Amino acid sequence: MRSHKVIEIRNLTSSTYVIRMEKNDFTFKTGQYITLGFSGSIDRREYSIYSSENDNFLEVLIKEVENGLVSKKLKRCKPGDYLDVDGPFGHFSLEESEIGRKKFLFIATGTGISPIHSFVETHPEMDYQVLHGVRIEEEAYEKDSYPNGKYILCTSREKSGDYHGRVTDYLMKNPIPSDTVCYLCGNCHMIYEAYDILEKQGISLGPIHTEVYF
């Protein structure tokens, strides 16, 4: 367990925010997650790392959960506070041998974009496309950080995105080349449905990587 000093809080919406902390000597592999909580508290939650391996700070993307104990407390933290970080954990990571020679499709819903943001910030040289499903455009967290043409926003409750509908609707109407390496991160319903769609489109089991957000 390490204590990390909070540098800033970045509010993206009324309920979603990014905490930036000092990185110190913390190392991780892009796609991994940490447990986070106030120093001295037993209450902690798991959050995927949002920042790049190469950044000199550590960031997590958090959505405040109604009746959520930790997410509400963390939203009130301020620069200078100390948070306890444990980890990194997890195996939702890129295969180094594929980064320069494969085409990637990253599919996310909501804050499931967090590890994908870390992927593309760490390896901007990748040949990739991000498909992000949200309800409204406001939830397209920092979409301007992605290069033009690399990020497709699917909005289910308004027509302000690049595609009106769910990411699974987009996948059915826009088949994916069978040699694409796919990473799915978000709610379990999207993952199960997208997994089936991709399999039917000829994506073999090996190239599909998943991480479920509850």
Average pLDDT, the chain: 93
pLDDT per position as a tens digit, 149-171? 999 999 999 998 899 999 999 99
Q: Per-residue pLDDT tens for 34-71?
A: 999 998 888 899 999 999 999 999 999 999 988 888 99
Enumerate the domain spans of the chain. Answer: 2-89, 96-212
Same fold, 2-89 and 96-212: no
What average pLDDT does range 5-13 have in this prediction? 97
Question: Is 118 flagged in the annotation as binding?
Answer: no
CATH (residue range 96-212): 3.40.50.80
| Annotated binding residue 121 | no
45 labeled binding residue: yes
The CATH superfamily holding the domain 2-89 is: Translation factors (2.40.30.10)
Integer Cα distance of 30 and 33 in angstroms = 9
